[in-house]
Structure 1
């Protein structure tokens, strides 16, 4: 893959922010929250045969596109705040809060970039969803006939996982932005 489109550093940077802030250790609860719960809900939707409708698909494309634009503007704000912290002169008593803000800004950077990648992925998955057949596809394998609904058992669960992960990541970004803006220097 071309290094210009390789997003692995963004994804791994985001995953590295899923740690307990007090201990610095990996937070199992964070992994369950951001990946396990969306996966579990997607499985339940498949079991109950709930799939994305064309109206919901259109709404999700708009949601992904709007949040991509909004997150890009927040990314500029985070970058600007980081630059201001790099050039500011502070007293020793304020150093702890500055270090905390720098660490929070670094984490926010990865979280926002990750959310942008996830939002773009959502738009792409919704585009693919529109091209999938509405009815189940039938396959014959060794005189056995199988029927598989790609929208129900493949595309809808992936879209749901991505949407839930995006929503949870946006909530984390909002919480971290709140913390960042309420820390006194």
Structure 2
């Protein structure tokens, strides 16, 4: 890396992965680069360069804190698919299975020929209807809870947008201070 600063002609021999590093690499190398570039900055501009460097460090720290706040605000929405949606799908499967069993029991009652068979099938049918009603009530409870979840998610999104707006206001202050 030192060779690149000492001999810029060797830049073409460096692979493109180094020229376009990921953000973690830049985060580690940027202070090093700034420190060594200060030696080459003319003395009258050193204070401006130092001010710009400090503003960029502060902007980076501010960005990390805002990202953490925004991620925290979206924590419930991120968990929806693993918690709420899975229970909804499981209950929906139980509901569909209960409906299928009820339809089968109804067909069995129609197909029964003797009165004793009809009575037995009717009792089975009544039990499946009761199970179907129970599954339906549980599914309705989950569906009725979805608008409340949606309202909570809307509040979270509004908070994230407010944090995002304040982040951009702060960033504009950092950049205005670095240009001044």
Q: TM-score range by the shorter chain?
A: 0.3 to 0.5
The structure with the greater share of residues assigned to helix is 2
Larger radius of gyration: 2
Per the normalisation by structure 1, the TM-score is: 0.38
Q: Greater strand share, 1 or 2?
A: 1
Q: TM-score, normalised by structure 2?
A: 0.39
